[in-house]
Every structure is written in structure tokens, then in C-alpha cells.
Chain A
């Protein structure tokens, strides 16, 4: 298949990591596609939920390089720098069968090293082209995706729980996208999480101008896995939440069953 990039964004705590991890699990289990999961949330939620241990993040690579610059040590010319970053990013990739995971790490806290950020972004974009599917677990805002990961995605999935705050955040992100102040995308869709009943979904949709990709019902098992820090890899596919995520994937044009 032609490569597809999906980013998941929304307010903190609304279920971005669960949705991304569930999509990854269903698509990895299908086995047909090479998948790159990018953990762009500074709290590193995605990798452990996928059962992956991260040894190095993109931010570690960046900080190592900046330390070198600050110490006055040589970094080489641009091509040397590019080789070094390319080598390090590939080394940071955690690979397991048809899944590879890349953790971005915490955002920079001081100094402006635009050239390093740009080179790293170029390398991530170039790496992404080698996968059938790239799924990005974004952080609470949206700025970091185009600043630190990539500037264009195919589908931007905005997720919210049923709270007004969550819905306000996705509406705000949608406005940023419409005014080209955030990541560029071909399609934006809404997923509502932890839904008690379909009526709640209808009520929310009356107040927002977003296309609904799907909704995920309340599922105690999600809370249980979260509480016990269990990876999603053995999450039962018949659970209501995974059934809903499968439908969301179909809305995104991705069949996750083997039919």
C-alpha cells in the first residue's frame, strides 16, 4: 500500500495513547504492513503500552549533539552532521517484527538549534517513507508535531472524552489546522472516547464542526490495563473498545481484519 501517516491529538488524559496503541495493535496483528509508531508525547506513554522499551529518544540525540556544540567540540560539516543524526535516529528505532517504535522525548527547554531540529525532522520524514503506515501519538497540544516530527500528515485524528474541556481543545486544534498554523493534513476527524451512550455523541456533534470518525464506549478493561501498566498487546480484540477502534480504522480506509 501507499504510505499513510496518521496523527492522534487532543487534550491530555482523553485517551490519545490508548487510541494510537489500539490502532497499532490491530494493524500489527494483521501482519501485512510495516508500521512505524512515533511516540511524540513527552510522557512516553505509547512505547510501554505497546510493550516496547525505549533505550534512546530523538531528544537524547539532540541533547548529545547540543552538548557537543556547547563544549566547543567539532560536529563536522553538514553532511557529517546528517550522517551522524541519521545513524543515531536509526539506532534509536526499536524494531519488533513488522512494528518499529521511535520515541521523540521531551521538548527542548533552552536555546534555539533550528538546524539540528530541521535535520532531525528531515530524517524522521525520510525514515517514515519506508513504512506502509505511520501512527503518531501526539502530545496535548499540536505544535510539536510539525515542529519536531513532520509537517504534513494524511489524517489528523482529534480525540476527546465527553467533557466540554476536551471538546474545546479539539475545536481549538481544528481552528489552528484550518488557518494553517499547525500540522498540514488532508483530512481531520473526531473520535469521542469513554462514551456512555450514543445520545451523548449526538449532543456533542451538534456543537462542533468536525466529522465523526467514531466513538469508543466506556470500557473497564482499558482502565484495568492502564492501572496495572499492562501492555495492550494481549488486550482482547472482542472488547467493546477494540471493536470500536476497528471501525474507526475502517473509516480511515484501513481494514484491520484479515478479510
Chain B
């Protein structure tokens, strides 16, 4: 898929700009599998109640974004990098705006699997970390428990968990994770970059679920005309009918 290549470039500029204006941008250790093992879940999604919560990420009252940008241009992705713009989990109690962006490089993942890739980012099973999501709105709401923060849960652990989880399910050649928690405006600014992803996901969902191919009345005809992969996907679906 090449549809997101421009968005990835814009994302690089966004990060550089944040650095320039003095935002804290940190590179986290992406080889911390050892820390990860102490948070392996019990096979069922964790619920963290407010009383036990250290910090909420992307609560419905604040800004939230979770998106996967897939590319065949592997060089666009800094494989293994985990970056954080803004405070880490243990540095901020209460509520943080939250963006989770996964840059995925793969020449083998099919366009049709983009939806699965997007959903997979919400399927983490980490002790003391609760995720609620609105996948079609690219919205994520996380809660981190006080106990897990004491045990060392951080964005480094979260990033490593995402890398492990996605690599175990998909054939990925490169994978990079970016978290943004600095402020609401910074997260909302990413809305522009994620706009195409939202439209592409919407169009893919519609194609797969409704099998409706009346382009003249379709709300996604603009993005389908623009994105080659969607045209091809539509063609394949038509042929398979």
C-alpha cells in the first residue's frame, strides 16, 4: 500500500516541528522484552476502574487517536523505533490526551488485511492496562492502573507489547510506534494526517460488509477514486461475487 506514504512524510515533519518548539520527544528502548513479561495478561481483557486508575489515556472527554499507517516503502519506517512526544505514564497522573500511531512496513500484507491490522492494535492483553476502542472513529481510551505503574508499566512497555503483538500476527518487515501525550492540540493536529486512514477504513468496511458497488451514491467515492488500492480491492471483490 502506498496511500499513506505522504502522511508518513507529514508525520515526520510534525515530529520535527514538535522538537523545534521544545516539546520533549523521547526515543524509548524497543528491546525491552524482559520488562514486558511481567505484564502478560490472563487471557481476558482487563477492566481498570477509576478508583484504581493512575492515568487515563484518550478519555472520551479529551483528544484521542489510534491509527496504523501501512506502506510498502520500507525505508519510510524506522524499524524498531518507539517514540514518545509528551509525558510518560508514570509522569502524569489523571488524564492525558493520547495518540498511538503505528507505522508498518510490509510488502506482503494484503490491502484487505489493513482492517485487521488496525483492529489488532486494540487487542493487547496487558495486566493493569484497559483498552476501549471505537475502531471506525480511530479512537482509543486506555486506563493504566496504579499497581501496574508501580510495577513499571510505561510507554516503553506498551510500545514493546504492540510490536510483539503485531509481529506475531502479521508478516511485517518494519514496525515503528509513536505515542503523543503532550496536549490536546498536538493530538488533534494529527487528525489531518489520519483523515485518509479514516476514509480508507470506512470505504473498506463498506465494501466488505455491504457489498454495495453503486459508486454514484457512495459516500466514499472520493477516496476510492484517489486510492489505487481501494479500486483494486473493489475490483477483486466484484470478480469474486
Contact = CB atoms under 8 A, between A and B. Distances in A.
User: Which of B49, B122, B202, B210 counts the most chain A CB atoms within 10 A?
Assistant: B49
Interface stretch (B5-13, B133-141, B180-188): B133-141
A83 B141 CA distance: 11
Interface in A164-217: none
A97 B51 contact: yes
A74 B47 contact: no
A79 B47 contact: no
Given A34-B49, A127-B47, A86 B205 contact: no
Secondary structure of the B side of the interface?
helix
Interface in B193-214: 202, 205-206, 208-210
A178 to B, nearest CB: 34
Interface stretch (A45-53, A87-95, A104-112): A87-95
Given A83-B122, A87-B141, A91-B60, A76 B135 contact: yes
Contacts of A84: 134, 136
A66 interface: no
Interface string A65-87: 00000000010110110011011
Contacts, number: 46
A130 to B, nearest CB: 4
A47 B132 CA distance: 24
A80 B205 CA distance: 10
Given A83-B122, A87-B141, A76 B50 contact: no
User: Which of B47, B119, B206, B208 counts the most chain A CB atoms within 10 A?
Assistant: B47
Interface string A2-40: 000000000000000000000000000000001000000
Contacts of B50: 95
Determine the interface band of chain A, counting residues with CB < 8 A from chain B.
10 to 19
Contacts of A249: none
Interface in B18-77: 47, 49-51, 60
Given A83-B122, A87-B141, A91-B60, A76 B136 contact: yes
B209 A34 contact: no
Contacts of B51: 34, 95, 97-98
Given A74-B205, A77-B205, A83-B122, A100 B136 contact: no
Contacts of A98: 51
Contacts of B206: 74
A130 B49 contact: yes
A80 B47 CA distance: 19
Nearest to B60: A91
Contacts of A86: 132
Contacts of A74: 136, 202, 205-206, 209-210
B132 to A, nearest CB: 4
Contacts of A77: 205, 208-209
Given A74-B210, A77-B209, A79-B119, A95 B133 contact: no
B49 A95 contact: yes
B157 to A, nearest CB: 22
A98 B141 CA distance: 21
Contacts of B132: 83, 86-87, 90-91
A61 B65 CA distance: 22
Interface string B122-152: 1000000000111110010100000000000
Nearest to A77: B209
A83 B133 contact: yes
A194 B174 CA distance: 70
Nearest to B208: A77
Nearest to A98: B51
Contacts of A127: 47
Interface string B103-137: 00000000000000001001000000000111110
Contacts of B135: 76, 80, 83
13 contacts: A34-B49, A77-B208, A77-B209, A79-B119, A80-B135, A83-B122, A83-B135, A84-B134, A87-B139, A91-B141, A95-B50, A95-B51, A100-B49
Given A34-B51, A80-B136, A127-B47, 13 more contacts: A74-B205, A76-B205, A77-B205, A79-B119, A80-B135, A83-B133, A87-B133, A87-B134, A90-B132, A91-B132, A91-B141, A95-B49, A95-B50
